[in-house]
Amino acid sequence: MRALYVAASGMSAQQTRIDTVANNLANTSTTAFKKSRGAFQDTFYQELATGSRGTRADLGGGVQLAGLEKDHTVGAIRDTGDPLHVALEGPGMLTVVGMDGRDYYTRDGAFRLDSEGQLVTAGGLQVAGDIVVPEDTESLRIAEDGTISAVLAGDEGHETVLGQLEIVGFANPSGLRAEGGNLFSMTPESGDPVMDYDGETRVRQASLEGSNVDVAEELIELVMAQRAYELNSKVVQAADEAMQVASGLRR
């Protein structure tokens, strides 16, 4: 009974859609969260019959998940007033150094200082560029290109450059792997990080980027997935009934 397996593949595809919506909705207030969407494709086709006039009929095997893709559209940027917070306008990403020493990429610029004055992410990872803010800093300025400068006590308004945020871009950001904790890592699909990608990305100080999840859109996706799940389950029912009818042949 092919219809049973085909319908089962359809139900599992819709289940993936529902799971994705659940994860997106759970992150409506996660800083710089990027929503995901499942991409589906039909599976193999088998030749079923050749008609008398050379026509062909193929029967499909159902549906499969081609991949979950992150939607990298920019979320709404809001002011926070914290001079250590940064949001990115444009497609770039900030480089941070993971616990394992590898580079990770994020758009979550909710930075803070650790006990030694080192600029770190909200999760405590070091921001690439080894930026240390001295204790006697009076004010801090982060320029559009990511240069961080400070006015130190007694310098009478003279700025000292502390370092620069490493902003990179990717040929195919959808190919980045989400590592959790708002971090992404590069994959063969995303390509290597390119420094100063496109020159398009500008840093905005004292702001954070919101999640790009649109609740209304997710709810519609949820309703559609639920209905499609139901339709596929009706096929299971019909296939089951057909088998029952077939077994009723011999009484």
Partner 1 sequence: MGQDLYAALSGAYTSLRRLDTVATNLSNASTTGYKGQRLTTEATGADGSYARIAEGLYDLSDGAVQSTDHPTDVALQGRGWLVVDDGDGVLLTRDGRLRPAPDGTLTAPGGRAVLGERGPIVVPPGETVRIEQDGTVVASASGPLDRLRLVEADASPLGGNLWRPDGPVLDVPDGQLSVVPGALEASNVDPMRAMVELVEASRTFEAFQKAMQASDETDARLNEMGRS
Which of these ranges, 69-77, 98-106, 119-127, 130-138, lies near partner 1 under the rule CB under 8 A?
69-77
| 3 vs 25, beta carbon nearer partner 1 | 3
- From 84, 140, 213, 239, residue interacting with partner 1 (rule: CB under 8 A): 239
Smallest separation, CB 29 to partner 1 (Å):
21
Backbone angles phi, psi at 150, to 5 degrees: -130, 150
Binding status of residue 216 toward partner 1 by CB under 8 A: no
* Per-residue binder mask for partner 1 (CB under 8 A), 49-68, x = binder: x-xxx-xxxxxxxxx--x--
Which of these ranges, 31-39, 112-120, 139-147, 154-162, lies near partner 1 under the rule CB under 8 A?
31-39
Binding status of residue 192 toward partner 1 by CB under 8 A: yes
Binding status of residue 228 toward partner 1 by CB under 8 A: yes
Binding status of residue 223 toward partner 1 by CB under 8 A: no
- From 137, 149, 174, 226, residue interacting with partner 1 (rule: CB under 8 A): 174
Q: Give me the count of residues in the chain.
A: 251
Ordered DSSP codes for the chain: -HHHHHHHHHHHHHHHHHHHHHHHHHTTTSTT---EEEEEEE--EEEEEE-TTS-EEEEE--EEEEEEEE--PPPPEEE---TTEEEEESS-EEEEE-TTS-EEEES-EE-EE-TTSBEE-TTSPEETTT-B--TTEEEEEE-TTSEEEEEETTSTT-EEEEEE--EEE-S-GGGSEEEETTEEE--TTT---EETGGGT-EEEETEEE-----HHHHHHHHHHHHHHHHHHHHHHHHHHHHHHHHHTT--
| 60 vs 83, beta carbon nearer partner 1 | 60
Binding status of residue 93 toward partner 1 by CB under 8 A: no
Smallest separation, CB 35 to partner 1 (Å):
11
| 157 vs 188, beta carbon nearer partner 1 | 188
Smallest separation, CB 197 to partner 1 (Å):
6
Hey, which residues between 113 and 152 contact partner 1 (CB under 8 A)? none
Q: Count of alpha carbons within 13 Å of 26, Cβ hemisphere only?
A: 7
Tokens coding 117:
């004055």
Contact positions vs partner 1 (CB under 8 A): 1-4, 6-7, 9-10, 13-14, 17, 37-45, 48-49, 51-53, 55-63, 66, 69, 71, 73, 91, 169, 171-172, 174-175, 188-192, 194, 197-198, 200, 224-225, 227-228, 231-232, 234-235, 238-239, 241-242, 245-246, 248-249
